[in-house]
Structure formats: structure tokens, C-alpha cells
């Protein structure tokens, strides 16, 4: 059995982006303060932190998508506070933001941390953006603590975990349109998680003459090798001479 687990420790070379909503700034500023304090505590340099203010929580996924595709971006931390009002406006915001943030992480393979408060009252939001930090296990310490600080720890842990995971390469989406039907079907299965592979190397022949776009099934390790059948010549038995 292989066990993978990240640690809250100084990250490798790269930067961490923090997207924070200006709406309900009294709350979000406290989230940001908790987040930055935790990052500095664990050795993240000031030059490796990018703070991006956006109008509200709805705009946070745009920043997460924008930076998550950068290979130098180690993680994106999303901070905001959506507090329920008289209408169902908060439900639509929360639904979109949570889904979009998850999609950004899945699309680019960069840790995107959900540090957005979704509270019914201002009191709940204040309790979750406080100075006192709580344990991660709420069954031991039920105090809400500071969600910004928790998000920073989650980001650092995921960054470290990412370095421990085995490298798995997938077919690039831009290549799908150029692949034969069989390869397209296989690549979709791989990218959907139905088929697991450890490595894949492809090479496109720019001077492709045979129309196969440099795609050779023999180069794909997960395809079953086709047995090459060789027809054996029948042995001719000498005819018996008549006596």
C-alpha cells in the first residue's frame, strides 16, 4: 500500500495567489489578514504572494482560472463572505462560485482553496473570521476560528502533497481533434478517469504523409499489442514411390 499525505511546510519555488472579495470587506480583510499571517509563519516570502482584490465573490473564479493555468502558480486561495439577505441571491452566488472554483482546480491541476464564508448572519461571519484559531477537527474544538488561516494551511498542505504524488500525463485536449476515432475514444476514457495510465508520450509528425498524424498504436503502452501472425508454410511430405 502506498500512502500519500501533504505537510504544512514552506513551499517550493513559485507563487501563491490570494483572490479576495471587496464586498463585506470588514469580514474579508480579517480573512486576508489570517491567511497572510499563516503563509508568513510557514516561510512563504512576500515576493511569492500575490493578492488580488475583486468586487465580490462572484468574480473570484475568474482570478482562480486566470492564475491556475500558470505553471509557476503553486495554489490559488479564494477568500470572500456571502451573507444571506432577504432574497435567494446568496444561493445563486454560492452555487456558481463553489462549482467554478472546483472546475478550475480540476481543469488545471492546481490546488484552488475554497475559503469563502457562506453564512446566514453577520455574527456567523464574524466568528469565522476571528483572531482565535481553532483546530481542524471541529469535534475536538468547535470554535469557528479564522477561515483565511485555515485556507492558507490547506494550500500549503496541498502544494506539498502535489510534489509527493506520482506524475501522470494525459492526452492533451488540443490533440483530440487530430486523432483517429479509436484514439479519441480512448483518450476521452483516460481523461474521464475510466482508464488509468502512468505515462504517455506522443509525437506529431509535421511532415505526415500517411494521414495518421504521427499516431502509432505501437507507441501507446496501455493498448494491447496485436499479435503478429505469420503463416507457416506447410511441410510437403515426399510422395512414396510406387514399387
**Can you give 182-231 as a three-state secondary structure string?**
HHHHHHHHHHHCCCCCCCCCCCCCCCCCCCCCCCCHHHCCCCCCCCCCCC
Catalytic residue among 89, 92, 162, 198: 89
The residue assigned the cell 482508464 is 195
User: Which helix (H) or strand (E) element contains residue 77?
Assistant: strand 73-83
CA distances from 44 to 55, 57, 74, 145 (A): 26, 25, 11, 22
In this structure, are residues 118 and 90 in contact, taking their beta carbons and an 8 Å threshold? yes
Closest CA to 63 of 26, 110, 118, 27: 110
| Burial letters 17-38, b for 16+ CB under 10 A, else e | bbbbbebbeebbbbbbebbbeb
Whether residue 42 lies in the annotated active site = no
CA distances from residue 197 to 108, 142, 187, 220, 223 in whole angstroms, order as listed? 18, 42, 11, 10, 10
Which sequence positions are flagged as catalytic? 89
Amino acid at each position: 500500500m502506498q500512502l500519500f499525505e501533504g505537510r504544512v511546510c514552506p513551499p517550493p519555488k513559485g507563487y501563491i495567489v490570494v483572490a479576495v472579495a471587496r464586498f463585506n470587506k470588514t469580514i474579508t480583510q480579517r480573512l486576508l489578514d489570517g491567511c497572510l499571517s499563516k503563509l508568513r509563519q510557514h516561510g512563504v516570502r512576500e515576493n511569492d504572494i500575490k493578492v488580488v482584490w475583486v468586487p465580490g465573490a462572484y468574480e473570484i473564479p475568474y482570478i482562480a482560472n486566470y492564475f491556475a493555468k500558470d505553471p509557476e502558480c503553486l495554489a490559488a486561495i479564494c477568500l470572500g463572505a456571502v451573507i444571506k439577505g432577504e432574497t435567494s441571491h446568496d444561493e445563486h452566488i454560492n452555487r456558481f462560485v463553489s462549482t467554478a472554483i472546483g472546475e478550475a482546480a480540476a481543469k488545471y491541476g492546481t490546488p484552488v482553496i475554497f475559503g469563502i464564508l457562506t453564512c446566514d448572519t453577520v455574527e456567523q461571519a464574524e466568528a469565522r473570521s476571528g483572531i482565535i484559531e481553532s483546530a481542524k477537527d471541529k469535534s475536538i474544538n468547535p470554535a469557528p476560528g479564522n477561515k483565511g488561516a485555515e485556507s492558507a494551511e490547506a494550500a500549503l498542505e496541498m502544494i506539498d502533497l502535489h510534489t509527493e504524488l506520482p506524475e501522470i500525463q494525459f492526452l492533451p485536449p488540443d490533440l483530440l481533434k487530430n486523432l483517429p476515432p479509436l484514439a479519441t475514444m480512448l483518450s476521452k476514457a483516460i481523461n474521464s478517469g475510466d482508464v488509468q495510465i502512468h505515462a504517455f508520450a506522443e509525437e506529431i509528425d509535421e511532415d505526415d504523409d500517411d494521414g495518421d498524424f504521427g499516431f502509432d498504436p505501437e507507441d501507446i503502452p496501455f493498448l494491447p499489442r496485436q499479435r503478429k501472425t505469420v503463416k507457416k508454410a506447410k511441410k510437403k511430405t515426399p510422395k512414396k514411390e510406387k514399387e
